[in-house]
Amino acid sequence: MKYKLLIFSLFVSISIFSQEKNDTTEIIQLLKDDYKTMVTNDIKKHMEYCTDDYLLIENGEIWNMEREAENYKQNEKRIIERKDNFDFKYMKISGNTAYAVYNLKSDITENGKLTQKNWNESVIFRKVNGKWKIALIHSTKI
Task: Tell me what pLDDT residue 13 has.
Answer: 44
- On the question of pLDDT at 17 being above 80, the answer is no
Query: DSSP 3-state assignment of 77?
Result: coil
b/e map 5-34, b = 16+ CB within 10 Å: eeeeeeeeeeeeeeeeeebbeebbebbeeb
Report pLDDT digits (tens) over 71-112: 999 998 999 999 999 999 999 999 999 999 999 999 999 999
pLDDT band at 3 (very low <50, low <70, confident <90, very high): low
- On the question of pLDDT at 14 being above 80, the answer is no
Nearest to 134 by CA among 63, 49, 61: 49
Task: Tell me what pLDDT residue 141 has.
Answer: 95
Domain residue limits, the chain: 2-141
**What's the predicted TM-score (pTM) here?**
0.84
Nearest to 124 by CA among 65, 67, 50: 50
Task: Tell me what pLDDT residue 18 has.
Answer: 52
- On the question of pLDDT at 16 being above 90, the answer is no
The rounded mean pLDDT for the chain is 90
The CATH number of domain 2-141 is 3.40.50.20: no
